[in-house]
Amino acid sequence: MDQMPQDPMVLMGFINMKLRDFYPDLDALCEDMQVDRSELEKRLAEVGFEYNLAANKFW
């Protein structure tokens, strides 16, 4: 996660863009980018965002 944006709002936008343009779901993104899913979800949950599988994005 070191190469990802540190600001939670920017991180959410970055992840949602990647999900929209390149990945079918969060698991695929995390596997390809070598990111710990639980850590990513925790960081975004701290500012009120959660992953929605049906929409394939955080909100």
Structural tokens at position 1: 């996660």
**Nearest 10 degrees: Cα torsion 10, 31, 2, 43:** 50
* Per-residue pLDDT tens listing for the chain (59 residues): 878 999 999 999 999 999 999 999 999 999 999 999 999 999 999 999 999 999 999 99
The per-residue pLDDT for 42 is 97
The per-residue pLDDT for 6 is 94
pTM above 0.85, yes or no: yes
CA gap 40, 25 in Å, rounded: 14
**Nearest 10 degrees: Cα torsion 40, 47, 54, 31:** -10
